[in-house]
Amino acid sequence: MEGQTWKTWRNIFNPGFASAHLMTLTPVIVKETLILCDVLRSFDRCGQVFQMKRLTDPWTMDIIGKVVLDTQLNTQTSENTMVNALKRQMRWLPFLGQLNPWERWHPFRPLVHWCNARTMNEYLYPELDRQIATFRAQSSEPTKSIVRLALQTYLAQDDSPKDVDETFKTFAISQIKQFLFSGYDTTSSTVCYMFYLLSTHPAVLDRVRDEHDRTLGSSLDQKVQKLKEEPYVLNQLPYSLAVCKETLRLFPTASTLRAGEPGFQVQDGQGRLLPTEGFMVWGISQHLHRDKTYWDQPDVFRPDRWLVGPEDPRYPVKGAWRPFEFGPRNCIGQELALIDMKIAMVLVLSMFDIAIAYTEIDRQKPRRPNNVNGERAYQATVGAPSGGLPCRIKVRETKAEGLI
C-alpha cells in the first residue's frame, strides 16, 4: 500500500500496537513464554542438542496470534494448518537474485500460492468473524485484541460505514497475514541472537540476572507474578533494554526496500545528492550498524553504550541505529518485539543456563564449518542464525513448577 491508502490503514492499526495497549497483553506473553520454558525443560531431561530457532519460531507465532487476533494457535505444542500454509508460502517466494530460471519462474508457483492462500483464509476469516461478533456483543467493554481495536477505530471514522463491510475484512486479513509473516521470523531470530550473545558473555549475563532479581524478585514465581500484576515494571529494566538494543545493532534481522521517485534524492556521507528515480533504495542496517564512522568498537557486544551520555565516545550517533527504521513507515510492531524480548530474557534466563553447541555439531561434520567475519553464528537467508543456533540447555535451581 502507498499514499493515503497506507496512511489510513496505518492509523487504523496504530492504537493496537501502542505501548500502553501492549502492556495490558503482558500476561498473554508471559503465558506463552512459560510454555516455551516447558518445551525447553524437555531438552534438559533428554540431554540432546537442539536448534533454538525451531522453538522460538512457534513461540513468536503463538504470541502474534493471541495479541493480534485473540486466537490460540498452539503451534508450540501441536500443528496448525494455517501456520503450516504460511510457512509453505514463504518457502515458495522467489528470491530476486535467483539465477536458475526454473526456480525463479517455477510454473507451479501460482497454484501453490493459491492453495496456501485458500488454506490461510479458511482459518483466518472465521476467526475474524468471531472477533467481529464479539465486538458487536460487547462493544462497550474494553477490548484486548489488536484487530478489535482496529475495528473500533475503523468504525469511528467520519466516513466509515455503520457496520463492518467487506473492505475492512479484506484489508484486515491482508494485514494479519503481514503481521504473521513479518513479525514471527524476525523476533524469533533476534531472541536467538540475544540468548547467543548472553551465553557467550557471562559477565553481561550475570548483570542481567542481577537486574531481574533486584527488580522482579529472586524466584521465577515472583517474576511471573510481578510481570502479570505490574507489566510496566518492564520499563524499569534499563540494562535489559540495552541488551535488546545491542543485539539488534549487531544482528538486525530486517531492512527496508523502497522504490525511488522522480525528484527524490538521498545524500551520501560526502554531501553529494544522488537521484533515486529508476532505482530501488535499500538501507542496509547490517553495514550501518558496524560502521566505525558511527560506532565505537562496532563489532564488540557492549550494552553499556546505550547507558552513557552524549559526552561519552560510546554514545550512539543519532540515526545510526535502524533495526526498525525511522519515520512514519517504521516497523509498527517494534514495541511488541521489545516486550517479547524482555519477557523471554527474564523468564528463560531465570530458569535455564544455555550453552551454544556449534563446536559439538561441527565435530560431526567432515568439512570445515563456515564463518563470516569470524562469526560462526552468522546470519543466513532471512537473518536467522546459521544452523538454527544449536544449543544445550540445563535447568537452574529456580524452577517453574505449577506455573503453566
99 lies in which domain range?
3-201+356-395
126 occurs within a structural domain: yes
Tell whether 331 is in a known binding site: yes
**Residue 308 counted as domain residue:** no
The pLDDT assigned to 402 comes to 45
pLDDT at res. 400: 46
Q: Is residue 154, in this structure, part of any structural domain at all?
A: yes
Write out residues in the chain with pLDDT < 50, as ranges: 399-404
Closest CA to 395 of 350, 342, 339, 337: 350
39: in domain:
yes
Assigned domain for 227 exists: no
Rounded CA-CA distance 331/395 in Å is 35
Question: Quick check: is 60 in a domain?
Answer: yes
Whether residue 376 is contained in a domain is answered as: yes
- pLDDT for position 61: 95
Predicted confidence at residue 389, as pLDDT, reads 96
Report the CATH number that the domain containing residue 21 is assigned in CATH.
1.10.630.10
What total of structural domains would you count in the chain? 1
Q: What is the pLDDT of residues 68-107, one digit of tens each?
A: 988 999 999 999 999 999 988 888 777 655 666 766 678 8
Q: Quick check: is 334 in a domain?
A: no
pLDDT for position 250: 97
First to last CA, the chain: 41
Span 366-385, pLDDT tens digits: 777 788 888 899 988 778 99
Please report the pLDDT score of residue 221 as a whole number: 95
